[in-house]
Structure 1
Amino acid sequence: MTVILAPPYLTEQARHDWELLQRQTAAASPFEPAAADLLPEPARRWILRTIAPGTPLRRAVVLSMRGTIRLGSWRRFHATQVLLPLEGFVWCASAYLGLLPVHGYDRYRAGTGEMRWRLLDAFPVMSGMGPDITRSAAGRLACEFVLSPAAALDPRVRWKPLDERHAMAGFPVGGEDYEVMLAVAADGRLEGVTMSRWGKPDKGPYREHLFGVECEGETTFDGFTLPAGIRGGWWPGTARWAEGEFIRFTIGDALFR
């Protein structure tokens, strides 16, 4: 299977992660609906809607998306992301500050998170590494497992029911355990995902904040049905959502590997 080439502005380490994370899933067995029988009812409904019977359970995915991101004000962006749930991601994007292009990436793999953004590929706009960036990136990875639904059947994922619409998924990322709550409609549509994530959206010190996404519509690729549109940010479902929301995008393509 052809490797999707990395953008030219990636560092050597980010390029290595990009190539490693999109390797084809070994021995991807076809999905059998009975495999969802032991999941909590909301998660079972979601899996039966989101994975067509017989679909190879590939977990690595390359996503393309476009939308708006809040960088002071709302600005248009387009991005490509390599995602392997529970293992890592590299999200590469391009946006504009006025007429000037900003390129960069966020990444997490093997216990290390990083962000690196440059104006005109030369002048630093925002960069960071270290324990706080890593912990926040690991939380993002945990939240995004729903973009590769086969990951929900990974034996490392521990499911528990909450009520008729909500189920909790718990699993390890980078040596820490994370819990992610899914909200699922009666027909199996994924409505949203929330979790406690490390960050500093209020400009204070790093600490845990409510984080999540709201899902809109559906789109299908390679037998997997994903949310067509996503709105993400801090404090979803609260009075601070308008303040905390920072990204809105639609998924244009998804290649499962």
Structure 2
Amino acid sequence: MHGHIKLGSWRPFRATQILAPGVGFVWAATARVAGLPVLGYDRYADGRGEMNWKLGGLIPVMSAATADVGTSAAGRLASEFVFVPSTFGTATWHEAGPDAALATWRIGPHTETVCLELAGNGRLGAVHLDRWGNPNGKPFGRYPFGVDIEAETSFGGITIPSRFRAGWWWGTNRWSEGEFFRAEVTAAAFR
């Protein structure tokens, strides 16, 4: 995937992700700040989350592996089930309105519920949840987080979200300040 991530200002990035729904993920990316590459990863595995980012691949700029990071990463993993639709059967589903459904997943020690909303044309339009985090330096807690899905593409016969925007304060008048991620998936392989 590639896109833009808000690191002070919007910066281009390129990334690769390995996603194992219900188990974990590794998202490895490179962005640029002041012309220098910032390389690193976010991950969730074995019930724990971690972020590790370095300027030029050498100078640490962010490193965290706390329980709060793990709980936030579990929420991210729950929302990213939409990239592997064959795993939808592993969720507990409830109707949330005529064009929406709630899906609950057990992820390690965490239970996460996400809402999937259809767009007017029947495709997936949004995924949102109350996700653990500390947006804009707030105390850790559950805050509105969501993903607006702008396009879908089929890869190997499986249709997934391919262009989207994500951030905190989804569905509120603070969405413009909380949005921090815009991406396009350019390739996907399923096993």
Question: TM-score, normalized by length of structure 2?
Answer: 0.97
Query: For 1:97-149, what per-residue CA distance to the aligned partner results, in whole angstroms no more than 9, with x for missing partners?
Result: 02101100000011111000000111011110111111111110011100111
Over the aligned positions, Cα root-mean-square deviation in angstroms equals 0.9
Q: Which residue of 2 aligns with 1:238?
A: 172
Which consecutive residues of structure 2, in runs of 5 or more, have no partner in the other structure? none
Counterpart AA for 2:88: A
- For the pair 1:133 / 2:69, whether they are aligned, the reply is yes
SS of the residue corresponding to residue 188 of structure 2 reads: strand
Moved more, 134-143 or 184-193: 184-193
- For the pair 1:91 / 2:27, whether they are aligned, the reply is yes
Q: Which residue of 1 aligns with 2:56?
A: 120
Distance 2:53 2:96 in 1: 39
Moved >4 Å (runs of 4+): none
How far residue 188 of structure 1 moved from its aligned partner, in angstroms, is: 2.7
Q: Which residue of 2 aligns with 1:212?
A: 146
Distance 1:207 1:238 in 2: 17
Larger Rg: 1
How far residue 204 of structure 1 moved from its aligned partner, in angstroms, is: 2.1
Structure with more of its chain in strand, by fraction = 2
Structure 1 counterpart of 2:124, from 180, 190, 193:
190
Q: Which residue of 2 aligns with 1:13?
A: none
SS of the residue corresponding to residue 202 of structure 1 reads: helix
Structure 2 counterpart of 1:200, from 134, 137, 156:
134
Counterpart AA for 2:148: E
- For the pair 1:249 / 2:183, whether they are aligned, the reply is yes
Distance 1:225 1:117 in 2: 31
Counterpart AA for 1:192: A
Identical pairs, percent: 48
Query: For 1:147-196, what per-residue CA distance to the aligned partner results, in whole angstroms no more than 9, with x for missing partners?
Result: 11111022xx1001111111000110122211100001354300000001
Structure 1 counterpart of 2:81, from 120, 141, 145:
145
Q: Which residue of 2 aligns with 1:161?
A: 95
SS of the residue corresponding to residue 88 of structure 2 reads: helix
Distance 1:142 1:167 in 2: 14
How far residue 70 of structure 1 moved from its aligned partner, in angstroms, is: 0.2
Query: For 1:214-236, what per-residue CA distance to the aligned partner results, in whole angstroms no more than 9, with x for missing partners?
Result: 00122110111112201000011
SS of the residue corresponding to residue 256 of structure 1 reads: coil
Which consecutive residues of structure 1, in runs of 5 or more, have no partner in the other structure? 1-64
Q: How many residues align?
A: 191
Contact 2:39 2:53 in 1 (8 A): yes
Distance 2:94 2:120 in 1: 18
Distance 2:63 2:125 in 1: 32
